Chain A
Amino acid sequence: MGIKKEKRSSSSTSPCAKLRAAYHDCFNRWYSEKFLKGQWDKEECVSEWQKYRACLSQHLEDKHLSRFLVAESIFFPCVQDDSGRPTDDTTPGFS
């Protein structure tokens, strides 16, 4: 069926692992200690984010994912309304 095999080398972004860990650590701390306590007026971890993101844009080769890095308008394609509920009211089940 002439389909090209992809290597299971999913670690296309692993060169960024260190920067990613540094950013996630910083974010987790900010989230618990500031954001959840109502101190959301200021973004933190900016330098960690910039370094991590620069690395990502260099290494994120997957075309499915890289489009999420570029355009601002497609940042949140899946977010629906403010109520946080799905718009359809079908009842899912084990059918």
Chain B
Amino acid sequence: MVRAYTQEHVYRHPWERVTSASWRKFTDPENKRTLSHILEVDTLNRKLDPLTGKLYTTRAITIHAPGPWFIRKIIGQDICHCVESSVVDSRSRSMQLTTRNVSLQKFIEVEEKSWYEPHPDNPEGWTAFRQETSIRIKPLSALASMAEKVEQRCAEKFLQNSVKGREVMERICKYLEAESSGISI
């Protein structure tokens, strides 16, 4: 049982600004309230390849994912650890992120892939965002019947959080835009 969905969004901001915003999305304290499901984000590793201009990053993301009480009872916790690996290719102007859960794998596997690329219609001014998410609930026989419902709920939750994430991104982009046109630092 796999539930998969794709989302797309066009940011009317250049790729440089959008990817800058994406780094700030989880770490700027002012977004804490909107993205309250994100408890902690740590950079675990970072590598810059000076020959190719590629930046590799691994981050740990701790997510608060409360489910129905019976799920909490079974799983025993309501936080989930994810690892996000990303590559920014400065030359070709692309950013790719892959996020997977590393805890609770016995119960659920979530994989989210995202891309930020210059929009083909306006490569200097707009950015195309695409995200593919797949959620797989492990078919524990006793839970099989409810697993379907949990998947649905999970997918809805991810969609909601994704919308929140885009709102935050738009806000940071506006802020960065104002910053770059006003005060130059």
Contacts and interface: CB of A to CB of B under 8 A. Distances in A.
Interface residues on B, range: 35 or more
Size category of the A interface is: 35 or more
B60 A65 contact: yes
B50 A41 contact: yes
Contact of A31 (B23, B62, B89): B23
Contacts of A13: 40, 42
A36 B3 contact: no
Interface of B is mostly: strand
Interface string B32-44: 0000000110111
B156 to A, nearest CB: 11
Contacts of A10: 39-40, 62, 64, 79
Interface in A46-95: 49, 52, 56, 60, 62, 64-65, 68-69, 75-80, 84, 86, 90, 92-95
Contact of B53 (A3, A40, A60, A78): A40
Contacts of B19: 31, 36
B83 interface: yes
B20 A31 contact: yes
Contact of B24 (A28, A36, A69): A28
Interface in B128-157: 132-134
Interface in B76-91: 76-79, 81, 83, 85, 87-90
* Shortest Cβ-Cβ A-B pairs, 5 listed: A92-B4, A78-B98, A3-B76, A78-B85, A6-B77
Interface of A: 1, 3-6, 8, 10-14, 16, 20-21, 23-24, 27-28, 31-32, 35-36, 38, 40-43, 49, 52, 56, 60, 62, 64-65, 68-69, 75-80, 84, 86, 90, 92-95
Given A14-B40, A27-B46, 18 more contacts: A10-B40, A11-B39, A24-B23, A28-B23, A31-B19, A35-B90, A38-B90, A65-B44, A65-B81, A65-B83, A68-B45, A77-B85, A78-B83, A79-B56, A79-B96, A84-B96, A84-B115, A92-B132
